[in-house]
Amino acid sequence: MPPSVSLELNYSGALKGAEVLNGFVDFAVRAERQRIADEFDVVLKNRISEIDRSLDAARAAYDIEKRARIARLQEGDNIRRAQLQDELSALRQQLKTARKFRIAQLDESIKIARSLGIIKPTAPSALGDTAYKNPTNVIRTEVNYQQIPLYFMGAESLEAERTALLQRKSDEFTEARVAQIFHELQVLQDNREIEMLKKRSNEDLFLANVEGQRSERLRLSELNVDRQALQLVDIDRYAVQPASPIRPKKSLLIVLGAVLGSILGIAVALLRYFIRSRKTAVVSPVTLDSTTSTLHVTPTKTLVHD
């Protein structure tokens, strides 16, 4: 059984006691309701502030993570770009060296071809044709599994190739890998992922594991509590004006009046008796003795009538 409190107020007839007592109860209930509502508001604000601090921490963590992600992407692009540049430089040097080797090889082959009198491209089996004066056209088929020496291409073709190599300003077109490297370098000029990370306008949408906190904050911010509906106590019965006063009690007054009247009557009778007794005078003759100066009094009864 819940505890209960009963209030009573004794008041004079000129005071509206029921209204005073009911007003005091209403004031106490309102004050307690306001105190509880204020405490609830403080708790609610503290909870919202805690959620806001948690969201701010999540935003800070996200910002750090995003900056780290951008830095990693930029670092990876820079490393890949440097690697491609190194590969391109090495490949250019390789092509340049290969061209020099080719020119040296052509110089040597040209000398051999001129020494053998090979001006036009020919085959090894056709070298002996110059010794025969047979006008008959002969068609030969030669199967050779070995690479034919370069000087069989003839001095003219070898010198033409040598001239072209000497006039060449770039060897990049001779290697397909160079085009691939330029393609990769062009792609690395713009990192679309970094651009999208920097262009995010509402970064709260990308926060991880904060959906519950957002929902709770929205619910708490829109929470509307009816303070008047907060039922703190149950008032069994309000104070009402009594039908009759509790004081004075008529029966008690009658008894007290009778007792006091009896006491007063007895006191009056006793007082009259003592007054009558004091009115009775006491008389006695007086004799003077000159020698001893002594006064002798002999009482005699004298009746005095009113």
The three-state secondary structure class of 295 is strand
Backbone phi, then psi, for 78, in 5-degree steps? -65, -40
Domain shared by 195 and 287, yes or no: no
Confirm whether 2 is domain-assigned. Answer: no
Please give the distance of CA 153 from its chain centroid, rounded to a whole number. 82
Domain shared by 129 and 258, yes or no: no
pLDDT tens-place string over residues 257-285: 888 888 988 988 888 888 888 776 444 45
Other CB atoms within 10 A of residue 21 CB: 17
Domain shared by 87 and 145, yes or no: yes
Domain shared by 77 and 163, yes or no: yes
Confirm whether 94 is domain-assigned. Answer: yes
Long-range (24+ apart) CB contacts under 8 A made by 245-252 are 245/13, 246/10
Contact of 80 with 208, CB cutoff 8 Å = no
> 282-283 and 300-301: which strand pairing?
antiparallel
Say how far apart CA 126 and CA 95 lie, in whole Å: 35
Domain shared by 21 and 107, yes or no: yes
Domain shared by 36 and 180, yes or no: yes
Which string of b and e fits 157-184 if b means at least 16 CB within 10 Å?
bbbebbeeeeeeeebeeeeeebeebeee
Domain shared by 145 and 213, yes or no: yes
Over 50: is that where the pLDDT of 131 sits? no
Domain shared by 192 and 288, yes or no: no
Say how far apart CA 199 and CA 283 lie, in whole Å: 139
Say how far apart CA 13 and CA 135 lie, in whole Å: 164
pLDDT tens-place string over residues 235-252: 777 777 776 666 666 677
Confirm whether 138 is domain-assigned. Answer: yes
Confirm whether 192 is domain-assigned. Answer: yes
Domain with 34 in it: 17-229
Question: Mean per-residue pLDDT for 156-173?
Answer: 90
Confirm whether 239 is domain-assigned. Answer: no
> 300-301 and 295-297: which strand pairing?
unpaired
Domain shared by 67 and 215, yes or no: yes
Confirm whether 216 is domain-assigned. Answer: yes
Confirm whether 86 is domain-assigned. Answer: yes
pLDDT tens-place string over residues 29-68: 888 888 888 888 899 999 999 999 999 999 999 999 999 9
Instruction: Please count the structural domains in the chain.
Output: 2
Q: Which of 180, 197, 229 finishes a domain? A: 229
83-97, 127-141, 161-175, 292-306: the lowest-pLDDT one: 292-306
Structure tokens at 189: 């000029």
Contact of 17 with 9, CB cutoff 8 Å = yes
Give the single-character DSSP code of 199: T
Domain shared by 66 and 144, yes or no: yes
Q: Phi-psi bin for 227: left (phi > 0), alpha (psi -120 to 50), beta?
A: alpha
The three-state secondary structure class of 161 is helix
Domain shared by 224 and 261, yes or no: no
- What pTM was estimated for this model as a whole? 0.55
Confirm whether 243 is domain-assigned. Answer: no
Domain shared by 173 and 262, yes or no: no
